[in-house]
Amino acid sequence: DGGITQSPKYLFRKEGQNVTLSCEQNLNHDAMYWYRQDPGQGLRLIYYSQIVNDFQKGDIAEGYSVSREKKESFPLTVTSAQKNPTAFYLCASSMGWETQYFGPGTRLLVL
């Protein structure tokens, strides 16, 4: 899991609630990514950021939002608009378009 931390490890969301997942890296990587993992579907890209104060939508951005105010941090908010948020969320970082390194993940469950 290297120098990437994600918190919390488990997160419970009530209906209509926004929740924020934390991702921090100390690898001095420019790029950061958020993926969603569902059983049997591999990883799907939610958002990515190549530099501070800039980010791009991935394949499944609807119902999610991000910010990139610091190089080390890339928090993901799961909004109430995301109707099926139960999944395992993975954060990754890379130097440019080189190898991506992953954090330990956050499992989001709906109450």
Min dist. Cβ of residue 75 to another protein (A):
17
Do 108 and 19 touch, CB atoms closer than 8 A? yes
Q: Who contacts 81 (Cβ-Cβ below 8 Å, separation ≥6)? A: 62, 63
Taking the least distance from each CB to another protein, the nearer of 80 and 88 is: 88
C-alpha span between 6 and 28 (Å, rounded): 16
Give the interface with another protein as residue ranges (CB under 8 A): 1, 4, 6, 33, 40-43, 45, 48, 58, 88, 90, 92, 97, 99-105, 107
For another protein, the closer CB: 78 or 92? 92
Minimum distance, C-beta of residue 42 to another protein, in the bound complex (Å):
4
Question: Between the CA atoms of 46, 97, 7 and 3, what dihedral angle is there, to the nearest 10 degrees?
Answer: 170
Minimum distance of another protein from residue 67's CB (angstroms): 19
